[in-house]
Amino acid sequence: MIQERRQTDKDMHYFWEELNLAQKFSVAELQRFGYELRFVRKQDKHKIAVLFAGDKIAAIDNEGQINTAPTVILRH
């Protein structure tokens, strides 16, 4: 049996609060193209925002730079 992990508004609020201002602007920009913030991953002292739009993935680094071909390892 596969359990589906759904995001709630509470989860999204938590992830949104984890972002800095540059990342928030970039997330808002990607949302215009159908991307949704899924999670924020902490790497060293930086946070990476990870978004999905269907089967497309994007990541936003600490500087707000958008990468539409990131090398993010997804956990299941």
Residue 76 has a pLDDT of 60
| pLDDT tens digits, one per residue of 4-61 | 344 555 567 778 888 999 999 999 999 999 999 999 988 888 899 999 999 999 999 9
Residue 8 has a pLDDT of 52
Residue the block writes with tokens 């215009």: 32
Could you tell me where the beta strands, DSSP code E, fall in 1-76?
36-43, 46-53, 56-60, 66-67
Answer with the residue of higher pLDDT: 23 or 1.
Answer: 23
Residue 58 has a pLDDT of 96
Question: Which of 29, 72, 71, 33 has its CA nearest to residue 53?
Answer: 33
